[in-house]
Structure 1
Amino acid sequence: MKRKEIYWLIGTFGLSLVACVLLLGIDCFKSTSTADINVHDTYFVVAKKELSILILKLTFFFVYLIRMLRRKFKNLTVNLIFMIANFFMNLSVVGLLSLIKSYARSATAIQNNTSESGILDSNSFEFIFLWVLLLFFQIILLVSLGYSGFKTGLNYKKDK
Protein backbone atom coordinates (compact mmCIF):
# COMPACT_ATOMS: atom_id res chain seq x y z
CA MET A 1 0.00 0.00 0.00
CA LYS A 2 1.32 3.42 -0.92
CA ARG A 3 2.02 6.07 1.67
CA LYS A 4 -0.76 8.27 0.23
CA GLU A 5 -3.33 5.53 0.84
CA ILE A 6 -2.23 5.13 4.44
CA TYR A 7 -2.75 8.87 4.95
CA TRP A 8 -6.21 8.63 3.40
CA LEU A 9 -7.05 5.68 5.64
CA ILE A 10 -5.89 7.48 8.79
CA GLY A 11 -7.62 10.70 7.70
CA THR A 12 -10.91 8.92 7.07
CA PHE A 13 -10.71 7.18 10.42
CA GLY A 14 -9.94 10.52 12.11
CA LEU A 15 -12.85 12.18 10.31
CA SER A 16 -15.23 9.48 11.52
CA LEU A 17 -13.93 9.83 15.10
CA VAL A 18 -14.48 13.60 14.97
CA ALA A 19 -18.00 13.04 13.59
CA CYS A 20 -18.74 10.57 16.40
CA VAL A 21 -17.56 12.99 19.07
CA LEU A 22 -19.50 15.90 17.56
CA LEU A 23 -22.74 13.94 17.09
CA LEU A 24 -22.70 11.68 20.17
CA GLY A 25 -20.49 13.41 22.70
CA ILE A 26 -17.12 12.68 24.23
CA ASP A 27 -18.28 9.40 25.82
CA CYS A 28 -19.32 7.83 22.50
CA PHE A 29 -17.00 4.81 22.85
CA LYS A 30 -17.78 3.89 26.45
CA SER A 31 -19.62 0.61 26.76
CA THR A 32 -22.05 2.02 29.33
CA SER A 33 -23.08 5.20 27.50
CA THR A 34 -26.43 5.17 25.74
CA ALA A 35 -28.45 7.44 23.49
CA ASP A 36 -32.21 7.85 23.71
CA ILE A 37 -34.01 8.02 20.38
CA ASN A 38 -37.60 9.22 20.54
CA VAL A 39 -39.89 7.89 17.81
CA HIS A 40 -43.49 9.00 18.29
CA ASP A 41 -44.36 7.71 21.78
CA THR A 42 -41.54 5.19 22.05
CA TYR A 43 -38.04 5.68 23.37
CA PHE A 44 -35.29 3.49 21.96
CA VAL A 45 -32.19 3.18 24.10
CA VAL A 46 -29.18 2.45 21.90
CA ALA A 47 -25.57 2.05 22.95
CA LYS A 48 -23.51 4.97 21.66
CA LYS A 49 -20.81 2.49 20.72
CA GLU A 50 -23.16 0.92 18.16
CA LEU A 51 -24.01 4.32 16.69
CA SER A 52 -20.29 5.15 16.54
CA ILE A 53 -19.61 1.98 14.55
CA LEU A 54 -22.44 2.92 12.18
CA ILE A 55 -20.95 6.40 11.68
CA LEU A 56 -17.56 4.78 11.03
CA LYS A 57 -19.07 2.50 8.37
CA LEU A 58 -20.92 5.36 6.70
CA THR A 59 -17.84 7.58 6.62
CA PHE A 60 -15.64 4.91 5.06
CA PHE A 61 -18.35 3.97 2.59
CA PHE A 62 -18.96 7.49 1.28
CA VAL A 63 -15.33 8.67 1.30
CA TYR A 64 -14.13 5.65 -0.63
CA LEU A 65 -17.16 5.67 -2.93
CA ILE A 66 -16.29 9.21 -3.98
CA ARG A 67 -12.60 8.36 -4.33
CA MET A 68 -13.35 5.26 -6.36
CA LEU A 69 -15.68 7.10 -8.73
CA ARG A 70 -13.28 10.03 -9.16
CA ARG A 71 -10.41 7.70 -10.05
CA LYS A 72 -12.71 5.64 -12.35
CA PHE A 73 -11.90 2.34 -10.62
CA LYS A 74 -8.16 2.65 -11.40
CA ASN A 75 -6.81 2.45 -7.82
CA LEU A 76 -6.84 -1.14 -6.56
CA THR A 77 -6.45 -0.22 -2.87
CA VAL A 78 -9.33 2.28 -2.95
CA ASN A 79 -11.53 -0.26 -4.70
CA LEU A 80 -10.77 -2.97 -2.13
CA ILE A 81 -11.42 -0.66 0.82
CA PHE A 82 -14.70 0.42 -0.78
CA MET A 83 -15.75 -3.19 -1.28
CA ILE A 84 -14.99 -3.98 2.36
CA ALA A 85 -16.96 -0.90 3.49
CA ASN A 86 -19.81 -1.92 1.17
CA PHE A 87 -19.86 -5.40 2.70
CA PHE A 88 -20.15 -3.96 6.20
CA MET A 89 -22.90 -1.57 5.05
CA ASN A 90 -24.80 -4.62 3.76
CA LEU A 91 -24.45 -6.23 7.17
CA SER A 92 -25.85 -3.07 8.76
CA VAL A 93 -28.88 -3.09 6.44
CA VAL A 94 -29.51 -6.77 7.27
CA GLY A 95 -29.39 -5.85 10.96
CA LEU A 96 -31.86 -3.00 10.42
CA LEU A 97 -34.21 -5.30 8.50
CA SER A 98 -34.19 -7.88 11.28
CA LEU A 99 -34.65 -5.15 13.91
CA ILE A 100 -37.67 -3.75 12.09
CA LYS A 101 -39.14 -7.22 11.65
CA SER A 102 -38.70 -8.09 15.33
CA TYR A 103 -40.18 -4.73 16.34
CA ALA A 104 -43.24 -5.37 14.17
CA ARG A 105 -43.64 -8.84 15.71
CA SER A 106 -43.50 -7.48 19.24
CA ALA A 107 -45.87 -4.68 18.28
CA THR A 108 -48.36 -7.25 16.97
CA ALA A 109 -48.12 -9.20 20.24
CA ILE A 110 -48.67 -6.01 22.23
CA GLN A 111 -51.54 -4.95 20.00
CA ASN A 112 -53.37 -8.25 20.52
CA ASN A 113 -53.44 -7.66 24.28
CA THR A 114 -54.41 -3.98 24.20
CA SER A 115 -56.73 -1.71 22.34
CA GLU A 116 -56.00 -0.34 18.85
CA SER A 117 -53.01 1.98 18.91
CA GLY A 118 -50.46 3.55 16.57
CA ILE A 119 -47.94 0.74 16.93
CA LEU A 120 -46.09 -0.36 13.80
CA ASP A 121 -47.85 -3.46 12.54
CA SER A 122 -46.37 -5.95 10.10
CA ASN A 123 -49.33 -5.40 7.75
CA SER A 124 -49.29 -1.60 7.92
CA PHE A 125 -48.29 0.64 5.04
CA GLU A 126 -45.42 2.16 7.04
CA PHE A 127 -43.87 -1.22 7.78
CA ILE A 128 -44.14 -2.40 4.18
CA PHE A 129 -42.77 0.93 2.86
CA LEU A 130 -39.81 0.84 5.26
CA TRP A 131 -39.15 -2.81 4.48
CA VAL A 132 -39.20 -2.22 0.68
CA LEU A 133 -37.05 0.91 1.04
CA LEU A 134 -34.35 -0.93 3.00
CA LEU A 135 -34.55 -3.91 0.66
CA PHE A 136 -34.14 -1.60 -2.36
CA PHE A 137 -31.16 0.07 -0.65
CA GLN A 138 -29.59 -3.33 -0.02
CA ILE A 139 -30.07 -4.33 -3.66
CA ILE A 140 -28.34 -1.10 -4.72
CA LEU A 141 -25.47 -1.88 -2.34
CA LEU A 142 -25.10 -5.41 -3.70
CA VAL A 143 -25.20 -4.23 -7.32
CA SER A 144 -22.56 -1.57 -6.57
CA LEU A 145 -20.44 -4.22 -4.84
CA GLY A 146 -20.66 -6.52 -7.84
CA TYR A 147 -20.00 -3.73 -10.33
CA SER A 148 -17.00 -2.38 -8.43
CA GLY A 149 -15.60 -5.91 -8.18
CA PHE A 150 -16.10 -6.41 -11.91
CA LYS A 151 -14.45 -3.10 -12.81
CA THR A 152 -11.60 -3.78 -10.38
CA GLY A 153 -11.01 -7.16 -11.98
CA LEU A 154 -10.97 -5.66 -15.46
CA ASN A 155 -8.53 -2.93 -14.47
CA TYR A 156 -6.34 -5.36 -12.53
CA LYS A 157 -6.08 -7.69 -15.55
CA LYS A 158 -5.07 -4.74 -17.77
CA ASP A 159 -2.23 -3.89 -15.39
CA LYS A 160 -0.73 -7.40 -15.42
Structure 2
Amino acid sequence: MKNKELIFLLILIVSLLVLPMYSIGWEALHPESQIDVNIHDSYFIIPTLSAICVYIVFIIFSIYLFRALLQKFRNKIANLILIVSTMTLILIFTFLICLFRLWESTSSGYSSSTEGIATTQGNVWNFGFWMGLGIQLALIIVLAVTAYKTGRLFGQSQKDSVLLRFTGKESRHN
Protein backbone atom coordinates (compact mmCIF):
# COMPACT_ATOMS: atom_id res chain seq x y z
CA MET A 1 0.00 0.00 0.00
CA LYS A 2 2.88 2.38 0.73
CA ASN A 3 4.37 1.86 -2.71
CA LYS A 4 1.02 2.55 -4.40
CA GLU A 5 0.68 5.83 -2.52
CA LEU A 6 4.17 6.99 -3.43
CA ILE A 7 3.69 5.96 -7.08
CA PHE A 8 0.40 7.90 -7.12
CA LEU A 9 2.19 10.97 -5.70
CA LEU A 10 4.97 10.70 -8.28
CA ILE A 11 2.49 10.39 -11.16
CA LEU A 12 0.53 13.34 -9.75
CA ILE A 13 3.61 15.57 -9.56
CA VAL A 14 4.76 14.63 -13.05
CA SER A 15 1.30 15.24 -14.51
CA LEU A 16 1.08 18.58 -12.68
CA LEU A 17 4.39 19.57 -14.25
CA VAL A 18 3.58 18.37 -17.76
CA LEU A 19 -0.06 19.42 -18.22
CA PRO A 20 0.38 23.18 -17.67
CA MET A 21 3.35 23.24 -20.02
CA TYR A 22 0.98 22.67 -22.93
CA SER A 23 -0.88 25.89 -22.09
CA ILE A 24 1.99 28.18 -21.03
CA GLY A 25 4.81 26.58 -23.02
CA TRP A 26 7.93 24.62 -22.21
CA GLU A 27 10.04 27.77 -22.08
CA ALA A 28 8.35 28.46 -18.73
CA LEU A 29 10.82 26.03 -17.16
CA HIS A 30 13.67 28.33 -18.08
CA PRO A 31 15.06 29.89 -14.86
CA GLU A 32 14.69 33.44 -16.18
CA SER A 33 11.07 33.14 -17.37
CA GLN A 34 8.48 35.30 -15.64
CA ILE A 35 4.74 35.79 -15.26
CA ASP A 36 3.46 39.35 -15.36
CA VAL A 37 0.50 40.14 -13.10
CA ASN A 38 -1.34 43.45 -13.00
CA ILE A 39 -3.49 44.00 -9.89
CA HIS A 40 -5.25 47.35 -9.61
CA ASP A 41 -2.44 49.91 -9.94
CA SER A 42 0.40 47.49 -9.18
CA TYR A 43 2.41 45.48 -11.65
CA PHE A 44 4.13 42.31 -10.41
CA ILE A 45 6.70 40.11 -12.09
CA ILE A 46 6.75 36.60 -10.61
CA PRO A 47 9.29 33.92 -11.54
CA THR A 48 7.43 31.17 -13.40
CA LEU A 49 9.08 28.35 -11.46
CA SER A 50 7.85 29.85 -8.18
CA ALA A 51 4.31 30.12 -9.54
CA ILE A 52 4.44 26.52 -10.79
CA CYS A 53 5.66 25.29 -7.38
CA VAL A 54 2.82 27.10 -5.59
CA TYR A 55 0.37 25.65 -8.11
CA ILE A 56 1.68 22.10 -7.55
CA VAL A 57 1.56 22.42 -3.74
CA PHE A 58 -2.01 23.77 -3.87
CA ILE A 59 -3.23 20.96 -6.15
CA ILE A 60 -1.49 18.27 -4.07
CA PHE A 61 -3.02 19.76 -0.91
CA SER A 62 -6.49 19.80 -2.48
CA ILE A 63 -6.28 16.22 -3.75
CA TYR A 64 -4.90 14.80 -0.52
CA LEU A 65 -7.38 16.75 1.62
CA PHE A 66 -10.19 15.24 -0.44
CA ARG A 67 -8.63 11.76 -0.16
CA ALA A 68 -8.09 12.10 3.59
CA LEU A 69 -11.69 13.19 4.13
CA LEU A 70 -12.96 10.44 1.85
CA GLN A 71 -10.91 7.77 3.65
CA LYS A 72 -11.63 9.32 7.08
CA PHE A 73 -7.92 9.85 7.77
CA ARG A 74 -7.14 6.09 7.78
CA ASN A 75 -4.26 6.18 5.26
CA LYS A 76 -1.03 7.08 7.09
CA ILE A 77 1.02 7.97 4.00
CA ALA A 78 -1.76 10.14 2.54
CA ASN A 79 -2.09 11.90 5.90
CA LEU A 80 1.65 12.57 6.05
CA ILE A 81 1.62 13.98 2.51
CA LEU A 82 -1.34 16.17 3.51
CA ILE A 83 0.57 17.38 6.58
CA VAL A 84 3.63 18.31 4.51
CA SER A 85 1.58 20.08 1.83
CA THR A 86 -0.42 21.95 4.50
CA MET A 87 2.76 23.13 6.22
CA THR A 88 4.12 24.27 2.87
CA LEU A 89 0.94 26.24 2.15
CA ILE A 90 1.12 27.81 5.62
CA LEU A 91 4.65 28.99 4.83
CA ILE A 92 3.52 30.35 1.46
CA PHE A 93 0.65 32.26 3.07
CA THR A 94 2.99 33.58 5.78
CA PHE A 95 5.14 35.05 3.01
CA LEU A 96 2.09 36.51 1.26
CA ILE A 97 0.73 38.01 4.49
CA CYS A 98 4.08 39.72 5.08
CA LEU A 99 4.01 41.09 1.53
CA PHE A 100 0.43 42.35 1.93
CA ARG A 101 1.37 44.13 5.16
CA LEU A 102 4.43 45.65 3.47
CA TRP A 103 2.43 46.80 0.44
CA GLU A 104 -0.28 48.19 2.69
CA SER A 105 2.24 50.35 4.54
CA THR A 106 3.78 51.65 1.31
CA SER A 107 0.59 52.15 -0.70
CA SER A 108 -0.74 55.62 -1.39
CA GLY A 109 -4.34 54.83 -0.48
CA TYR A 110 -4.58 57.71 1.98
CA SER A 111 -6.18 61.05 1.31
CA SER A 112 -6.92 63.97 3.56
CA SER A 113 -10.48 64.98 4.24
CA THR A 114 -11.70 68.54 4.69
CA GLU A 115 -10.92 68.50 8.42
CA GLY A 116 -7.36 67.28 7.90
CA ILE A 117 -8.04 63.69 9.04
CA ALA A 118 -6.41 60.98 6.96
CA THR A 119 -8.85 58.38 5.67
CA THR A 120 -8.27 55.22 3.64
CA GLN A 121 -9.85 54.73 0.28
CA GLY A 122 -10.48 51.02 -0.23
CA ASN A 123 -7.05 49.65 0.57
CA VAL A 124 -7.00 46.31 -1.26
CA TRP A 125 -3.83 45.23 0.56
CA ASN A 126 -5.59 45.35 3.93
CA PHE A 127 -8.31 43.06 2.54
CA GLY A 128 -5.65 40.72 1.14
CA PHE A 129 -3.91 40.65 4.52
CA TRP A 130 -7.07 39.65 6.41
CA MET A 131 -8.09 37.17 3.73
CA GLY A 132 -4.64 35.55 3.85
CA LEU A 133 -4.79 35.44 7.64
CA GLY A 134 -8.19 33.70 7.51
CA ILE A 135 -6.94 31.14 5.00
CA GLN A 136 -3.85 30.56 7.12
CA LEU A 137 -6.02 29.98 10.21
CA ALA A 138 -8.11 27.45 8.28
CA LEU A 139 -4.91 25.69 7.15
CA ILE A 140 -3.67 25.53 10.75
CA ILE A 141 -6.96 23.92 11.79
CA VAL A 142 -6.67 21.37 8.94
CA LEU A 143 -3.07 20.68 10.03
CA ALA A 144 -4.05 20.18 13.67
CA VAL A 145 -6.92 17.81 12.81
CA THR A 146 -4.78 15.81 10.39
CA ALA A 147 -1.88 15.57 12.85
CA TYR A 148 -4.24 14.47 15.64
CA LYS A 149 -5.90 11.80 13.49
CA THR A 150 -2.55 10.58 12.15
CA GLY A 151 -1.06 10.45 15.65
CA ARG A 152 -3.97 8.36 16.86
CA LEU A 153 -3.54 6.08 13.85
CA PHE A 154 0.16 5.55 14.62
CA GLY A 155 -0.58 5.10 18.33
CA GLN A 156 -3.26 2.53 17.57
CA SER A 157 -0.91 0.53 15.32
CA GLN A 158 1.76 0.56 18.06
CA LYS A 159 -0.75 -0.67 20.65
CA ASP A 160 -1.83 -3.43 18.26
CA SER A 161 1.75 -4.59 17.68
CA VAL A 162 2.52 -4.58 21.44
CA LEU A 163 -0.70 -6.48 22.13
CA LEU A 164 0.13 -9.04 19.44
CA ARG A 165 3.62 -9.58 20.88
CA PHE A 166 2.26 -9.82 24.42
CA THR A 167 -0.39 -12.39 23.52
CA GLY A 168 2.05 -14.39 21.40
CA LYS A 169 -0.08 -14.13 18.27
CA GLU A 170 2.56 -12.35 16.23
CA SER A 171 2.77 -13.67 12.68
CA ARG A 172 5.86 -15.67 11.73
CA HIS A 173 6.28 -14.27 8.18
CA ASN A 174 7.30 -10.75 9.34
Contact 2:101 2:126 in 1 (8 A): no
Report the aligned-residue RMSD: 2.4
Decide which of 127, 134, 137 is 1:136's aligned counterpart. Answer: 134
- Distance in 1, Cα, partners of 2:13 & 2:140: 24
CA deviation profile, 1:28-48 (whole Å, cap 9, x unmatched): 221110111122333211110
Which residue in 2 is equivalent to 1:126?
124
The sequence identity of aligned pairs, in percent, is 25
Q: How many residues are aligned here?
A: 152
For the pair shown, which has the larger CA radius of gyration, 1 or 2?
A: 2
Partner SS state of residue 28, structure 2? coil
Which residue in 2 is equivalent to 1:57?
57
Which residue in 2 is equivalent to 1:67?
67
- Structure 1: 4+ residue segments shifted above 6 A: none
Q: 1:95 to 1:154 in 2, by over 3 A?
A: same
Shift of 1:129: 2.3
User: Which segments of 5 or more consecutive residues in structure 2 lack a partner in the other structure?
Assistant: 113-118, 159-174
TM value normalised by structure 1: 0.83
Contact 1:104 1:122 in 2 (8 A): no
- Distance in 1, Cα, partners of 2:54 & 2:21: 13
Which residue in 2 is equivalent to 1:38?
38
Q: 1:79 to 1:92 in 2, by over 3 A?
A: same
Partner SS state of residue 44, structure 2? strand
TM value normalised by structure 2: 0.77
- Distance in 1, Cα, partners of 2:24 & 2:145: 34
